[in-house]
Amino acid sequence: MTHLKGAEEITIRDVWEARKRIASIVKKTPLIHSATLSEKAGRPVHLKLENVQDIGAFKVRGAANKILSLSEDEKRRGVAAFSTGNHGLAVSYVAKKLGIPAFVCISSRVPKAKVEALQRLGATLEIVGDSQDDAGERCYELEREKGLTVVHPFDDPHVITGQGTIGLELLEELPQLKDVVIPLSGGGLLSGIGLALKSTDQNIRVTGVSMERSAVMAESLKAGKPLLMKESETLADSLLGGIGLDNQYTFTMVKRFMDDLLHIPEEEIAYSMAYMMDKHQLIMEGAAATGIAAVLGEKLPHQDGDIAVIISGSNVDLSALLPLLRTYFRNK
């Protein structure tokens, strides 16, 4: 897709190409019906389980599409990534599969579980500063120093269309799909799925969900331009990070494809994480739980048709779940 010059030139054809390209590495994920959430919503609710990918998150789709599109010379020199954790895992996993060097820059905010997982995958790991933006600066230094290719976590056509393959799978299994709920950070996931769904049916409603603290994309959309913001502590740590002041794709595409944006308070994220362990025996990150909170809080429109919630990942420190469970069962 080197011919692409702007966000408007990324098409559904590119998503289909991505699907073919990544098929050898990325598995199609289950879509399960939730009886408890359906009862709450008054219509069918389905969970798209990206947490069962080998790295525990959807990010492997975009990383695979980008890395597999590189030339043999680029692969030989290696790849670099900056990440809040899951994208680094994805790049490391794909690089290991292909036998190419990988360097990952993360901030000190990345949870211990993700750091340990990155170490197990064999990437060269650097912990830099206290934000994804700090890690990004170091990542581009490595690109200049070592001739690596930076695999951007979201603002890249290959990454966006790789994530968009989730939308193709939803359309295949849910012909009555009316609402899809997507965690929103840098916007690669929502841009890709939104492109796939809206190219098929403009009436499918795309709702982004984010935490209340440091929701950079949300604030940037409100301001009409990409902003820089300081990161804050949140259970939805995967949704932290800037969108880049020079954002080329996702700012435009999120604005184009997203119908609504919901901000989820920390206490609702915590409750939703515990609720899903109780009702579905599913461990999920705070980022994934934002979509569950939207359903439990009855924040979606009351209309007919199926709802799909993207369960984006499950890479969370188990020790962080214990206090959430105690509070949940104490108040139940």
The domains of the chain are located at 12-58+156-331, 79-147
Give 12-58+156-331's CATH code, choosing from 3.20.20.70, 1.25.10.10, 3.40.50.1100, 3.40.50.300: 3.40.50.1100
Which is nearest to 50 in space by CA: 290, 285, 262, 300?
285
Q: Using one digit for the tens of pLDDT, what is the confidence trace for 271-300?
A: 999 999 999 999 999 999 999 999 999 999
pLDDT of 1 strictly over 70: no
**Helix (H) / strand (E) containing 149:** strand 149-150
Comparing 83 with 247, the larger pLDDT belongs to 247
- Measure the CA–CA gap between 117 and 119, rounded to whole angstroms: 5
| Mean pLDDT confidence for 48-62 | 96
How many separate helices (H) and strands (E) can be counted in the chain? 14, 10
pLDDT of residue 301: 85
Angstrom CA distances, 245 to 3, 4, 37, stand at 23, 20, 38
pLDDT of 3 strictly over 60: no
pLDDT of residue 317: 83
The answer to whether 179 and 304 have CB atoms below 8 angstroms apart is: no
The answer to whether 18 and 164 have CB atoms below 8 angstroms apart is: yes
Comparing 123 with 114, the larger pLDDT belongs to 123
Which is nearest to 208 in space by CA: 270, 237, 250, 170?
250
The answer to whether the predicted template modeling score (pTM) of the entire model surpasses 0.85 is yes
Task: Band the pLDDT of 2: cuts 50, 70, 90.
Answer: very low
**Helix (H) / strand (E) containing 261:** strand 260-264
**Mean pLDDT across the chain, nearest whole number?**
93
Domain 79-147 fold is Rossmann fold (3.40.50)
